[in-house]
Structure 1
């Protein structure tokens, strides 16, 4: 894929304009956008920037961080605290994401989305109240391993890092997760699966492959 340099501001504006021109694939009243990437890629800031840009354009937006949908520690650490295969397959509660986030946004759904479910610090349910996303609103979900689960996204953005950049930008205490991202690249190939690919090796100078 040929990449060209772009600023984060231009990228955000381009994505926001694309979202405004996108119709929900299922014919429902809500759009669903993914910002996928390893923690080292920093998905939270681009997701928040996109949400702000869409709000300025008159859209209601709900941002969901998949870190709020971790499984309990007893399941995450069943095979030890640093098992990359469990991190890849078992840390994030994909069933809860389907049930609490995507299900309410199906055609005819309530629009009542649970913003988070589990607090990893207390290892207890957050007990957050559902938040309503009105018709015409946009869900922006960000975090790792979002592709490959058949989540019903209408636009997917992958923040990619080269293996060297991923290792360099991952804290020493988290480098045990690196094999999980290698497996994700091999099994899902997010750079091919995503609608928009952004290379973020240098966070000050992103590059992208353009809009689909």
Structure 2
């Protein structure tokens, strides 16, 4: 895999330009969906925020949707214990709700009425957040862990990769039980092969990426 050094800001500008250049020709303009995938230690929210700013500077409406806003209730997440890596990999995130509340409304002919989050893990209650009414041509950026391999209809996907050693170093002690889940995700899902761009971020001050491969 050939990687070239780049800054996070420059990466966001390149991604925004790609989205503009590849916006589907439709009347009204179609919504675009972006996925930024990576472990919590990879800080997918940082790149999502930079990309959102770059798109807004181009006159685009943007909504960033953190995957952790679509966690399942604690009774389901912790059914096999609070530190079960297999449950974390396959049962913590409510992919059905993401399809229903984020991707369905932004499909062709959809309403553009997107729910930015569903569940608050701190209170273990519904967030009751208001729906966002996205105008035609807006972009939705979904970011967080374990996003690839679900057939989500991303127009552009980025995988922020950390080597096993970097992931272990940058994951807090209380969350290290999740490391086997990310090892399985790498081995079984192969997110680097599915993404349109892969970023190596072992040193977050000096990222490198493949560029846009598709």
TM-score, structure 1 as length reference:
0.97
Matched residue of 2:160: which SS?
Answer: strand
Match of 2:163 in 1: 162
> Is residue 135 from structure 1 mapped to residue 136 from structure 2 by the alignment?
yes
> Is the 1:51–1:62 contact (alpha carbons within 8 Å) kept by the matching residues of 2?
yes
Match of 2:60 in 1: 59
Match of 1:69 in 2: 70
> Is the 1:24–1:154 contact (alpha carbons within 8 Å) kept by the matching residues of 2?
no
Distance verdict in 2 for CA 1:24–1:171, change over 3 Å:
farther
**CA separation in 1, counterparts of 2:25 and 2:163?**
31
What is the CA distance between 1:21 and its match in structure 2? 1.0
What is the CA distance between 1:188 and its match in structure 2? 1.1
Distance verdict in 2 for CA 1:97–1:161, change over 3 Å:
same
Distance verdict in 2 for CA 1:37–1:26, change over 3 Å:
farther
* Root mean square deviation, CA, Å: 1.4
Alignment of 1:123-202 (within 5 A): 123-202=124-203
Q: How many residues align structurally?
A: 212
> Is the 1:69–1:92 contact (alpha carbons within 8 Å) kept by the matching residues of 2?
yes
> Is residue 122 from structure 1 mapped to residue 87 from structure 2 by the alignment?
no
**CA separation in 1, counterparts of 2:156 and 2:25?**
10
Match of 1:36 in 2: 37
What is the CA distance between 1:10 and its match in structure 2? 1.2
Match of 2:12 in 1: 12
What is the CA distance between 1:72 and its match in structure 2? 0.3
- Where in structure 1 are there 5+ consecutive unaligned residues? none
Match of 2:107 in 1: 106
> Is residue 211 from structure 1 mapped to residue 207 from structure 2 by the alignment?
no
Distance verdict in 2 for CA 1:45–1:126, change over 3 Å:
same
Matched residue of 2:34: which SS?
Answer: strand
**CA separation in 2, counterparts of 1:24 and 1:184?**
31
What is the CA distance between 1:23 and its match in structure 2? 3.0
**CA separation in 2, counterparts of 1:92 and 1:26?**
32
**CA separation in 2, counterparts of 1:26 and 1:76?**
40
**CA separation in 2, counterparts of 1:108 and 1:178?**
40
**CA separation in 1, counterparts of 2:37 and 2:47?**
10
Matched residue of 1:205: which SS?
Answer: coil
